[in-house]
Structure 1
Amino acid sequence: MKILGINASPRGNESNTLQLVKAVLKGAESEGVEAELIDLYSLRIEYCTGCGACYATGECPQLDDFEELFERIQNSDGIVLGAPNYINSVPAPMKAFFDRLSDAIHCQMLTGKFGCSVSTAGGSKADAVVEYMNSVLMTLGVTVVGGLGVLMAGNPAAPQQAAGSAEELGKKLVKSVRGEIKYPDQDEAHRQTTAYFCQLAQSDKERFAHDYDWYVQKGLIK
């Protein structure tokens, strides 16, 4: 089993969010699994141009680090997203990454994986950023096990104080992957989302040729 942490903070080792992501991964590792950490700012992820090539061919014309990163995500069982609050949302590299996941959403490529999100904020809305990142995971077909938002608010020790909760989140993530914790409501939501995108692919086979072929291969379109 492998848990992948993706941190989107430009502050390197000084990142408060990084401390939370590491704590989640530490909790996961305590359950006997492998964990990997990726610094999103060390990668080059170009902006989505909305060309639609991914829907038609399954390939993106952008030549950057996206495909390698997505392959590492596909080869993981659990995903931890970390981002500070930048004007009530995630920093630009994380948003650029999210925007490149359009075909992965249409094909529900991450179905069966589990994930969570963590965020830090100077004064407010860390929880809102966590909710946003978790909503992206849900849209991808990932089952969300929880999240953690931490407000600094003049307290530099806040990430360390929240480390215990972050580690527990990592343990919960692993237990969820193992099937020890069930999420029937999310299972049904994922089923409905997959049905929607199957119907979308069938409604316009030419435009969504790759998506159509994907669902045929999965046996969901006969």
Structure 2
Amino acid sequence: MRILLINSSFRKNGATAKILNEILKVLKTHDDIDASILHLSDFKLDYCKGCSQCFQTGECYLQDDAEHISNLIAEADAVVVGAPTYASSIPGQMKTLIDRGHFVMEQLNHGKYTLSVATYENADGISVVKSLNKLFLYSGAVLSGSICIKTVFNQEPLNSRSKKDNVRKQAERLYWNMTKRAKGNIIHRIIHHTVFHVGIKPFVLKEKTRYSGVLDHWKRRGIFNAAV
């Protein structure tokens, strides 16, 4: 099983990265797991131009790393996203990936298990968790859990037994949910069903030509028959 951990902080050794590395350490104790960390700061991501061309062609015309990252996510069985709290929200490069990454309309996380990780120093870390979980839920994922840790800038984020134990517990829970093929929270399933079948699906099917790229994504992700 393949798990992709995404660090959306520019800092590769900051609090968010350290928590992701702790999760990675736990996951790698299982022989059936292939897990790795992707640092968004290593990649070139241009801003979305709002042209909607990807809905028809299935991919963005901009020649950077967005499609590569999107493909890595598509190939994973589970996705963990870590984000620091900037101005009470997710960092800009994570939002750029969301805008470019074929998440919601194309249902990039269909059937995947996800874990959200947020760090903050003063306030609003929970806002980041909510943003990530909303993205996961609307894009078809099963929410495994979330981690929200208050820390001091440039200090060790896992400076207590309880914090480290919680991170390890969430990592093991992600592994357990994957191996048991857990269906997830019933309320979450109802929310996604409503978002997709009431909001997205009829909207796309009204103009199949304009959204042919979206339909292709659905077909590749095994939701085409249910959608049409």
TM-score normalised per structure 1: 0.90
Q: Does 1:82 align with 2:82?
A: yes
Select 2:204's aligned residue among 182, 201, 205.
Answer: 201
2:226 alignment partner, SS class? coil
- Map of 2:47 onto structure 1: 47
Alignment partners' CA distance in 1, 2:219 and 2:118: 38
CA drift of 1:139 comes to 1.5
- Map of 1:99 onto structure 2: 99
2:115 alignment partner, SS class? strand
- Map of 2:17 onto structure 1: 18
2:158 alignment partner, SS class? helix
For structure 1, the 5+ residue unaligned runs are none
- Map of 2:213 onto structure 1: 210
CA drift of 1:214 comes to 4.8
How many residue pairs get aligned? The number is 220
Q: Does 1:220 align with 2:226?
A: yes
> Structure 1 residues 188-197 or 49-58, which shifts more?
188-197
CA drift of 1:3 comes to 1.0
Q: Does 1:114 align with 2:120?
A: no
Alignment partners' CA distance in 1, 2:40 and 2:6: 6
Alignment partners' CA distance in 2, 1:105 and 1:180: 22
**Between the two proteins, what is the percent identity of the paired residues?**
25
Contact 2:19/2:157, CA 8 A, preserved across alignment: no
**Aligned alpha-carbon RMSD (Å):** 2.1
Contact 2:119/2:151, CA 8 A, preserved across alignment: yes
Contact 2:15/2:156, CA 8 A, preserved across alignment: no
> Structure 1 residues 163-172 or 26-35, which shifts more?
26-35
Contact 1:45/1:65, CA 8 A, preserved across alignment: yes
Kindly provide the amino acid, as one letter, of the partner of residue 173 in structure 2: K
CA drift of 1:123 comes to 1.4
Alignment partners' CA distance in 2, 1:8 and 1:199: 33
Alignment partners' CA distance in 2, 1:213 and 1:70: 15
- Map of 1:133 onto structure 2: 132
1:47-102 CA distances to partner (integer Å, 9 max, x unpaired)? 1111011111112111101111111111111111001111111111111001113x
